[in-house]
Amino acid sequence: MRSAVFFLHGSGGSGMELRSYLETAPIPQLGHNSFRHCLESGFSIHGKSTGSVTLFTPTADSRPYSPFDGGNLNVWFDRTPQFLTKGLNDIEDHIGVNKSLEKIEKLILDIEGNYDNIFIGGFSMGGGLALHFLHRPISPKIKGIFSLGSFLVDSSSLFQEPSHRLALHIPVLMMHGKADSMIKLDFGQKTAANML
């Protein structure tokens, strides 16, 4: 089995920066000297080995980002300057979200014939974007979605539109550190509760 992981960076980051970190981050608790080593060794899904895993770390388009005084950053979508204080009550940039989803969907369509399993996830803003794949007509090869330190506003289109039938059985893994100094833990917890 061949598997692919699309790992999306957070606001202001880049795919190259995230890949560099992931290729060197040690994870001795799992018996690997790096995340890259873990992917190369493979892992199991329902007792079946995935074989090696190919990591894709695309970069968001550079666009004006309101919390950065409108300066250009690599971001998947815009937020209001008050998004950290408004939190779950903020608004969603539907146009930016959809544009970025289309970009990732094209990348998936370009490679899906070469893989048996595809996983999509990300860190912070990238994880929030990945969650949006739950209401998109995505490939049946997508076997999981994950987010790390992410949240969606209460008015997110994910909560307004029904989940796509292909996504109803896709496992979702959401993780959030208790000491996250930027995105509050309760934002992530409430997002998870809204998805149930």
What are the pLDDT digits (tens) for 94-128? 999 999 999 999 999 999 999 999 999 999 999 99
Q: How far apart are the first and last CA of the chain?
A: 31
Per cent of the chain over pLDDT 70 is 86
Among 171, 11, 26, CA closest to 80: 11
- The number of CA neighbours under 13 Å toward the Cβ of 95 is 2
Q: What is the mean pLDDT of the chain?
A: 88
Q: What average pLDDT score do residues 1-26 get? A: 90
In the prediction, which pLDDT does 23 show? 81
* pTM above threshold 0.75: yes
| Lookup result for tokens 């690997």 | 32
Examine the pLDDT at 50 and tell me if it is beyond 60. no
In the prediction, which pLDDT does 190 show? 93
Per cent of the chain over pLDDT 90 is 62
Q: ∠ CA 41-45-46 to the nearest 5 degrees?
A: 140
Examine the pLDDT at 46 and tell me if it is beyond 60. no
pLDDT in tens, 143-178: 999 999 999 999 998 888 766 555 667 899 999 999
Among 98, 104, 96, 60, CA closest to 78: 96
3-class SS letters over the chain:
CCEEEEEECCCCCCHHHHHHHHHHCCEHHHCECCHHHHHHHCCEECCEECCCEEEECCCCCEEECHHHCCCEEECCCCCCCCHHHHHHHCCCCHHHHHHHHHHHHHHHHHHHHHCCEEEEEEECHHHHHHHHHHHCCCCCCEEEEEEECCCCCCCCHHHHCCCCHHHCCCCEEEECCCCCCCCCHHHHHHHHHHHC
Examine the pLDDT at 45 and tell me if it is beyond 60. no
In the prediction, which pLDDT does 196 show? 78
| Lookup result for tokens 């979605």 | 145
